[in-house]
Amino acid sequence: MQSGNPYRSIENGVPGRIGCRIHYFDELDSTQEAARTFAAGGGPQGLVVIAERQTAGRGRMGRSWHSPAGLNLYCTIILRPRIPLGEVPRLSLVAGIAAAEAIERQAAGLVSLKWPNDVWLKGRKAGGIIAEAVTNSRQELECVLLGIGININLAIEDIPAELRTKATSLRIAVGHPCDRIEIANSLFTLLDYRYMEVVTHGFDAMRPQWERFSALTGKRVTVVDGPRRESGIVRGIDSDGALVLEVGDGPRRILAGDVSIEGAYE
């Protein structure tokens, strides 16, 4: 059910630009599914779905996303880029830059990005990004559902006990509540800018922006992808957005997996 929309004031109405339309719901299973329905009905690029609460919020690799009401930002943005299917994951790195830049306005010096899709504050996870491709019957890209979750006003006692050493929020990091509408506005404006930049100039031009926030570069890490396990020192990301790991016999490109920093509590 859609009631009064507190995000209406930041809807920009500009066709094709992020935030052109913002649909707000008190409760959804997942903003990804509502955005999928809008996209199937011809919803334009830039349309945003926001839920106050999600009952089945989801993260990468089939994980769930804790989505209580009244505290955080849960949104999905419809993008319609003309790119090959294989380039979709780069859009989540671009969204990471925009999310880090938006959070940096409230928490300068505290935000970092953990490849591929985690937004960290003081070394704990405060946000996550998921980029789901929707294809047609010829397996061509129809659109991308870019989901972003940011823990904004979650207090420590709102975090499930088993996640307290790993998860955080903007409020916990800076010590006071933050304005969700202002953060959403910054996020959509910065994402619009970064998205235009990537479709015009390509991902390689954006690597320095991503590296500026990288939590992993120079660190010894272990990457686990199903049965595969690889350890080495992170050299950064390459022009495709792959993680470049220095292992014993040279650099190795990592395309997927869960990364943990050796010696850090994960």
Binding site for ligand BTN (CB under 6 A): 30-32, 54, 57-60, 63, 65, 74-76, 117-118, 128-130, 147-149
User: In the bound complex, what is the minimum distance in angstroms from residue 172's beta carbon to ligand BTN?
Assistant: 17
Q: What DSSP line would sit under 84-100, residue for residue?
A: -GGGHHHHHHHHHHHHH
Which positions ≥6 away from 84 have C-beta within 8 Å? 141
H/E run at residue 136: none
Q: What is d(CA 215, CA 223) in angstroms, rounded to the nearest whole number?
A: 14
User: In the bound complex, what is the minimum distance in angstroms from residue 25's beta carbon to ligand BTN?
Assistant: 12
Quick one: 148 or 190, whose CB is closer to ligand BTN?
148
Amino acid present at 265: Y
Which positions ≥6 away from 256 have C-beta within 8 Å? 116, 225
Quick one: 46 or 128, whose CB is closer to ligand BTN?
128
User: In the bound complex, what is the minimum distance in angstroms from residue 35's beta carbon to ligand BTN?
Assistant: 8
Quick one: 31 or 209, whose CB is closer to ligand BTN?
31
Quick one: 2 or 239, whose CB is closer to ligand BTN?
2
Of residues 86, 90, 112, the one with CA closest to residue 237: 90
User: In the bound complex, what is the minimum distance in angstroms from residue 197's beta carbon to ligand BTN?
Assistant: 23
CB 213 within 8 A of CB 113: yes
User: In the bound complex, what is the minimum distance in angstroms from residue 227's beta carbon to ligand BTN?
Assistant: 21
User: In the bound complex, what is the minimum distance in angstroms from residue 248's beta carbon to ligand BTN?
Assistant: 30
Q: Residue with structure tokens 């989901």?
A: 147
Quick one: 162 or 175, whose CB is closer to ligand BTN?
162
CA within 13 Å, CB half, 248 = 1
Quick one: 46 or 149, whose CB is closer to ligand BTN?
149
Q: How far lies 76's CA from each of 127, 138, 208, 251, in Å? A: 13, 25, 26, 35
User: In the bound complex, what is the minimum distance in angstroms from residue 129's beta carbon to ligand BTN?
Assistant: 6
H/E run at residue 192: helix 180-201
CB-closest chain residue to ligand BTN: 128
Q: What is d(CA 248, CA 235) in angstroms, rounded to the nearest whole number?
A: 13
